[in-house]
Amino acid sequence: MDHVRNDEVSQWWRTSITEVKPNSIRLRGYAVEELIGRIGFIDMLWLLVRGDLPTAPQARLLESAMLGGVDHGPHAPSIAIARMAVTCGVGMNTAVAEGIGVLGDIHGGAIEQSMELLRGLVNDETSTGDLLSLGQDVFERSQAYGGFVPGYGHRFHKRDPRSPRVLELASQAAQEGVIDGKFVHMAQRVEDAIAAVKGKPIPMNVDAAAGAVYLELGFEPPMGRALLVLSRSLGVIAHAWEQSGRKERIKGPVPKSSDYAYEGPAPRSLIDR
Ligand SMILES: CC(C)(COP(=O)(O)OP(=O)(O)OC[C@H]1O[C@@H](n2cnc3c(N)ncnc32)[C@H](O)[C@@H]1OP(=O)(O)O)[C@@H](O)C(=O)NCCC(=O)NCCS
């Protein structure tokens, strides 16, 4: 009877990632002390998530794509919210959780939708048609995302400076045979296809560029959002830390001297009723 219970307990959490025994920690089979000092942080990420080590060019490309999303200053809600949280007196863990918590479908989380869209287009071989029909297909598929094509457009930039650089590195990697290049190619075609339908450019943002790279490297769309969270955590931590040194207390989203639009009933009284 005891034997049966022990078996149930040992099967409660099953994992292929980490084996911990007294005085021993193995990650995907490797002793942690052997990994420390021999591999990089990105190698470790890949090892844990994917089960084996990446090649050096794969790790370099993943790192480059992740660098694009690290920070966008206090204009980005993820950064502003983390800073505001600090001024409310919370610790770093809460500030970081608050910041990354808003990486939803429209903020950095659009990367997941962008990857779904690009993968669907590549799988359905939509790229074989002309630009206009690709564009119509893209807008049809984007109805699922509120009519906005995920990974394109930016509130602040007319041309997101991160995307061309990430795409340049991805194209180099495709030429060197590190990746196939089909998702990167599709991301570029979608930009042209949107322009063909709208009659004006809505340029690719870093989510589509990094998302295309993550697909090329074999990551699933939900993992794209996880990688973005990891990447943006750097900026969130830096801003939360900087803010914690400012000793400012309770900073709201706008200075208290500025007004906001009140849309409710005119002043009224219960007593007059
Ligand atoms: C980021 C985003 C919210 C910015 O939106 P915005 O501030 O309204 O952008 P703009 O003011 O430049 O939009 C101008 C026009 O382009 C359209 N537009 C912008 N992004 C678009 C998109 N991704 N798909 C379709 N149309 C888009 C707007 O509807 C607007 O059209 P209109 O002039 O005909 O009304 C928007 O581009 C978006 O939702 N993109 C998809 C989500 C995404 O990738 N988010 C990550 C951002 S880093």
Q: What angle do CA 67, 179, 225 make, to 5 degrees?
A: 40
Q: How many residues does the chain have?
A: 273
Q: Looking at the predicted structure, is the pLDDT value of residue 128 above 70?
A: no
Q: Dump pLDDT digits (tens) for 184-195.
A: 999 999 999 999
In-domain check, residue 264: no
Instruction: Kindly state whether residues 118 and 85 are assigned to the same domain.
Output: yes
In-domain check, residue 129: yes
The pLDDT value recorded for residue 3 is 60
Q: Which of 1-10, 53-62, 85-94 has the lowest mean pLDDT?
A: 1-10
Which of 232, 233, 104, 205 is CA-nearest to residue 149? 205
Instruction: Kindly state whether residues 171 and 242 are assigned to the same domain.
Output: yes
Mean pLDDT of 197-202: 94
The pLDDT value recorded for residue 90 is 97
Instruction: Kindly state whether residues 33 and 136 are assigned to the same domain.
Output: no
Q: Which of 8-12, 128-132, 242-246 has the lowest mean pLDDT?
A: 128-132
Cα dist from 76 to 3, 58, 99, 102, whole Å: 55, 29, 10, 10
Instruction: Kindly state whether residues 14 and 146 are assigned to the same domain.
Output: no
In-domain check, residue 195: yes
In-domain check, residue 93: yes
The pLDDT value recorded for residue 4 is 61
For residues 145 and 143, what is the distance between their CA atoms, to the nearest angstrom? Answer: 5
Ligand 1 centroid to Cα of residue 145, in Å, is 12
* Ligand 1 atom nearest residue 160's Cα: 48
Q: Dump pLDDT digits (tens) for 22-48.
A: 999 999 999 999 999 999 999 999 999
Number of domains the chain contains: 2
Instruction: Kindly state whether residues 2 and 102 are assigned to the same domain.
Output: no
The set of protein residues with a Cβ atom below 6 angstroms from ligand 1 is: 106, 110, 148-155, 202, 205, 207
In-domain check, residue 268: no
In-domain check, residue 272: no
The pLDDT value recorded for residue 158 is 86
Instruction: Kindly state whether residues 51 and 178 are assigned to the same domain.
Output: yes
Instruction: Kindly state whether residues 187 and 220 are assigned to the same domain.
Output: yes
Q: What angle do CA 93, 98, 103 make, to 5 degrees?
A: 125
The pLDDT value recorded for residue 109 is 85
CATH number, domain at 92?
Answer: 1.10.230.10
The pLDDT value recorded for residue 7 is 83
Instruction: Kindly state whether residues 102 and 206 are assigned to the same domain.
Output: yes
C-beta separation of 151 from 208 below 8 A: yes
Q: Which residue lies with its CA nearest to atom 9 of ligand 1? A: 155
Instruction: Kindly state whether residues 114 and 234 are assigned to the same domain.
Output: yes
Q: Greater confidence, 225 or 3?
A: 225
Instruction: Kindly state whether residues 22 and 63 are assigned to the same domain.
Output: no
Q: For all residues of the chain together, what is the average pLDDT?
A: 94
C-alpha torsion sign, points 55, 117, 165, 241: negative
- pTM recorded for the entire structure: 0.93
Ligand 1 centroid to Cα of residue 152, in Å, is 7
Instruction: Kindly state whether residues 12 and 82 are assigned to the same domain.
Output: no
Domain of residue 120: give its range: 41-252
Q: Choose the residue to mutate in 114, 152, 156, 228 for probing ligand 1, maximizing ligand atoms within 8 Å of C-beta.
A: 152
For residues 112 and 36, what is the distance between their CA atoms, to the nearest angstrom? Answer: 31
For residues 62 and 49, what is the distance between their CA atoms, to the nearest angstrom? Answer: 13
The pLDDT value recorded for residue 2 is 58
C-beta separation of 189 from 149 below 8 A: no
Token representation of residue 208:
């589509």
In-domain check, residue 273: no
Q: Looking at the predicted structure, is the pLDDT value of residue 125 above 90?
A: no
In angstroms, the first-to-last Cα distance of the chain is 73
In-domain check, residue 120: yes
